[in-house]
């Protein structure tokens, strides 16, 4: 694990920027070998996100994970020839010591929980890349992989561990820190690697971890190899993984993810297709999405030529950044209002184009990107509301935003003095399987969990312009209001929302958004919401005499021994 904890808590106030690129990396290096790439973790201990700690022993803070998330995204889009990504450490005798303990002890509670959530989303992105992007992950562990270091390893498809008497894997958060493996560690051990519960109990309460053949026997790793045969074993495992990857179609030179066009002011964030307006007194932000201004390209090759300027990719990247900006930098904003402007028919045209071009790897990656961004919206602990108004383009892929929201209101009829026609929603094939939620089913299936016939009725309406009456009758929106009631009803709702306890709202929304099947992913995020929000508040962990504060001092945490 990482350094000892300080004795005082410092609340981070610096704005966190999620935009980076390889020339600015402090902690990671991408080495492209053609069909294989190495992702080398060599953390600069002095390049911390905040002051007050050093990132010794390849430990990490959110800044390290922001770079990792960027690297994984670039491997998808800029290195499509790569079939296998090998995680390695750039340091001797340590793979990764996990989340930095000084950082965890000094960070505010919201930062800790948002940190855990982002790192989890990054690791889920690795698993999604393996499943849907034809890039498998191998973790080659030399040295200790402790806590979050092992959680990074267990997010990979396969793990190779050096059998050298030193290298080990461990999840020692409980005995050392009085917290739990917060980035999916326990869940991936039991649900992904299917380690027996009694062995998991031993593993999670053993500070020194597990080495060698026992790690293979317990299914904690897939293979061990002595130092003299480690490189050969790695090459064999890379070849085995590469053999499972199907060939990709289309130009494989990659698409460079250039910097977003973004302007940040006091109360606005403006992108090319997204604008965020922040109302601090009202504790809400409005995200306005702009539809396409021109028809889709004529061919898959023309789409590829547009690169990052291709509207669906541009919008998805900008929306993703806007959500992260609000999550980490605007903690008192409790409600996010989604609006849209544009031609709904053009949105459907782009959906149709992507379906027709899905043989091309670039089109597939854009669809995969939208799936991840929509999940990011689902996982955001803010009240989400959609306003479907005249001039809106909540159709097809963008209609998923409406279905992701806790409430949705639709304007019935036309506005006086407005040239736009009545508000409408149009559905496309993308609403019926392209973007599954973390529970493995679509947002419409989740919405209509007890009435599958409503999903069938909606599917029969693909391509039809559905007005407020249609959408309310079909259950696609919460309620429709005419011009007489619209302003007052929306105001009353927003004011009411800000009067409720943020903690209670987070708990309620997390419970209602993910009804239906339980998956490893819903378990990870559900447990994150419950476990981490509770355990990271308990004095046994974060109190002045708690384990996080006393870690590294040689003095055990002073625990309240009551079970609650």
pLDDT in tens, 260-282: 999 999 999 999 999 999 999 99
Verify that 324 and 183 share a domain, yes or no: no
pLDDT attached to residue 372: 97
Last residue of a domain, which of 193, 222, 247?
Answer: 247
Q: 49 and 16 in contact (C-beta within 8 Å)? A: yes
Which CATH number is 231's domain given? 3.90.226.10
Q: 537 and 109 in contact (C-beta within 8 Å)? A: yes
Domain-located, residue 303? yes
- pLDDT, one tens digit per residue, over 12-47 is 468 999 999 999 999 999 999 999 999 999 999 999
pLDDT attached to residue 106: 87
**What gap in Å lies between CA 543 and CA 113, rounded to an integer?**
17
Verify that 236 and 354 share a domain, yes or no: no
- How much is the average pLDDT of 321-328? 97
**What gap in Å lies between CA 104 and CA 61, rounded to an integer?**
8
Verify that 204 and 282 share a domain, yes or no: no
pLDDT attached to residue 183: 66
Domain-located, residue 11? no
The CA-to-CA distance between both ends of the chain, in Å, stands at 28
pLDDT attached to residue 11: 38
Q: Could you give the percent of the chain with pLDDT greater than 90? A: 83
Query: The whole model's pTM is what?
Result: 0.94
Verify that 171 and 299 share a domain, yes or no: no
Domain-located, residue 283? yes
**What gap in Å lies between CA 521 and CA 503, rounded to an integer?**
22
Verify that 194 and 270 share a domain, yes or no: no
Residue 275, C-beta contacts closer than 8 angstroms, at least 6 positions apart: 268, 269, 287, 288, 290
| Total count of residues recorded for the chain | 564
Domain-located, residue 178? yes
Verify that 207 and 319 share a domain, yes or no: no
- Please calculate the CA angle 272-274-276 and round it to the nearest 5 degrees: 125
- How much is the average pLDDT of 188-213? 96
**Full residue range of the structural domain in which residue 478 is found:** 263-513
Verify that 331 and 267 share a domain, yes or no: yes
101: left (phi over 0), alpha (psi -120 to 50) or beta: alpha
Domain-located, residue 410? yes
Verify that 130 and 239 share a domain, yes or no: yes
Count up the domains in the chain and report the number.
2
Domain-located, residue 541? no
Residue 427 has pLDDT above 70, yes or no: yes
C-alpha distance from residue 151 to each of 155, 156, 160, 548 (Å): 6, 9, 14, 19
- pLDDT, one tens digit per residue, over 217-268 is 999 999 999 999 999 999 999 999 999 999 999 989 999 999 999 999 999 9
Verify that 215 and 321 share a domain, yes or no: no
- pLDDT, one tens digit per residue, over 496-518 is 999 999 989 988 998 899 889 99
**What gap in Å lies between CA 138 and CA 223, rounded to an integer?**
11
Verify that 365 and 232 share a domain, yes or no: no
Nearest to 373 by CA among 305, 303, 287, 454: 287
Domain-located, residue 301? yes
Angle at which helices 109-132 and 311-329 cross, to 10°: 150
Last residue of a domain, which of 513, 530, 559?
Answer: 513
- How much is the average pLDDT of 160-178? 94
**What gap in Å lies between CA 4 and CA 10, rounded to an integer?**
15
pLDDT attached to residue 12: 43
Last residue of a domain, which of 476, 493, 513?
Answer: 513
pLDDT attached to residue 13: 62
Verify that 240 and 291 share a domain, yes or no: no
What is the CA 117 to chain-centroid distance, rounded?
A: 7
Q: Is 38 exposed, middle or buried (0-12, 13-18, 19+ CB in 10 A)?
A: middle
Residue 192 has pLDDT above 50, yes or no: yes
Domain-located, residue 228? yes
Verify that 213 and 294 share a domain, yes or no: no
**What does the mean pLDDT of the chain come to?**
94
**What gap in Å lies between CA 510 and CA 153, rounded to an integer?**
27
The three-class DSSP label of residue 547 is helix
What is the CA 84 to chain-centroid distance, rounded?
A: 21
For residues 269 and 10, the model is more confident at 269
pLDDT attached to residue 4: 33
- How much is the average pLDDT of 63-74? 98
- How much is the average pLDDT of 96-123? 92
Residue 1 has pLDDT above 60, yes or no: no
**What gap in Å lies between CA 561 and CA 564, rounded to an integer?**
9
């Amino acid at each position: 694990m990482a350094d000892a904890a300080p004795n005082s808590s410092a609340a981070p106030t610096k704005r966190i920027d999620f935009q980076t690129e390889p020339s600015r990396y402090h902690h990671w290096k991408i080495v492209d070998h053609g069909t294989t790439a190495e992702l080398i973790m060599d953390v600069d201990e002095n390049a911390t996100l905040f002051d007050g700690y050093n990132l010794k022993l390849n430990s990490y803070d959110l800044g390290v994970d922001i770079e990792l998330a960027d690297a994984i995204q670039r491997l998808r889009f800029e290195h499509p020839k790569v079939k296998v990504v090998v995680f390695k450490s750039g340091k001797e005798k340590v793979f990764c010591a996990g989340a930095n303990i000084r950082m965890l002890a000094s960070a505010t509670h919201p930062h800790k929980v948002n940190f855990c959530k982002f790192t989890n989303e990054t690791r889920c992105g690795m698993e999604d890349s393996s499943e849907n992007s034809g890039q498998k992950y191998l973790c080659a562990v030399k040295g200790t992989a402790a806590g979050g270091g092992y959680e990074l390893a267990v997010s990979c498809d396969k793990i190779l561990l050096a059998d050298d008497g030193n290298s080990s894997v461990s999840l020692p958060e409980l005995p050392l820190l009085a917290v739990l493996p917060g980035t999916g560690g326990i869940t991936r051990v039991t649900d992904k690697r299917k380690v027996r519960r009694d062995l998991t109990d031993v593993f999670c309460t053993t500070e020194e971890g597990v080495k060698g053949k026992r790690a293979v026997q317990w299914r904690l790793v897939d293979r061990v190899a002595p130092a003299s045969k480690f490189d050969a074993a790695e090459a064999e495992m890379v070849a085995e993984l590469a053999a499972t990857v199907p060939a990709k179609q289309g130009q494989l030179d990659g698409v460079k993810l250039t910097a977003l066009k973004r302007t940040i002011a006091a109360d606005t964030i403006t992108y090319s297709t997204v604008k965020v307006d922040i109302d601090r007194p009202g504790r809400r932000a409005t995200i306005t999405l702009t539809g396409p201004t021109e028809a889709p390209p004529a061919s898959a090759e023309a789409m590829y030529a547009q690169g990052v300027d291709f509207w669906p990719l541009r919008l998805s990247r900008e929306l993703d950044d806007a959500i992260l900006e609000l999550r980490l930098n605007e903690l008192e904003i409790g409600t996010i209002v989604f609006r849209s402007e544009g031609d709904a028919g053009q949105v459907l045209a782009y959906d149709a184009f992507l379906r027709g071009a899905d043989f091309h790897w670039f089109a597939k990656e854009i669809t995969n990107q939208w799936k991840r961004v929509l999940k990011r919206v689902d996982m955001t602990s803010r009240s989400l509301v959609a306003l479907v108004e005249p001039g809106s383009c909540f159709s097809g892929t963008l209609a998923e935003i409406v279905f992701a929201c806790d409430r949705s209101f639709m304007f019935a009829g036309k506005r006086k003095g407005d040239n736009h026609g009545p508000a409408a929603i149009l559905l496309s094939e993308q609403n019926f399987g392209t973007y599954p939620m973390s529970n493995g089913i679509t947002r419409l299936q989740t919405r209509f969990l007890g009435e599958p016939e409503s999903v069938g009725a909606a599917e029969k309406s693909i391509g039809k312009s559905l007005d407020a009456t249609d959408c309310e009758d079909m259950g696609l929106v919460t309620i429709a209001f005419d011009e007489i009631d619209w302003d007052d009803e929306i105001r009353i709702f927003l004011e009411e929302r800000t009067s409720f306890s943020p903690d209670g709202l987070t708990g309620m929304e997390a419970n209602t958004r993910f009804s239906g099947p339980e998956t490893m992913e819903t378990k990870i995020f559900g447990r994150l919401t419950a476990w981490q929000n509770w355990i990271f508040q308990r004095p046994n962990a974060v109190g002045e005499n708690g384990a996080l504060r006393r870690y590294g001092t040689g003095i055990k945490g002073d625990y309240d021994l009551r079970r609650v």
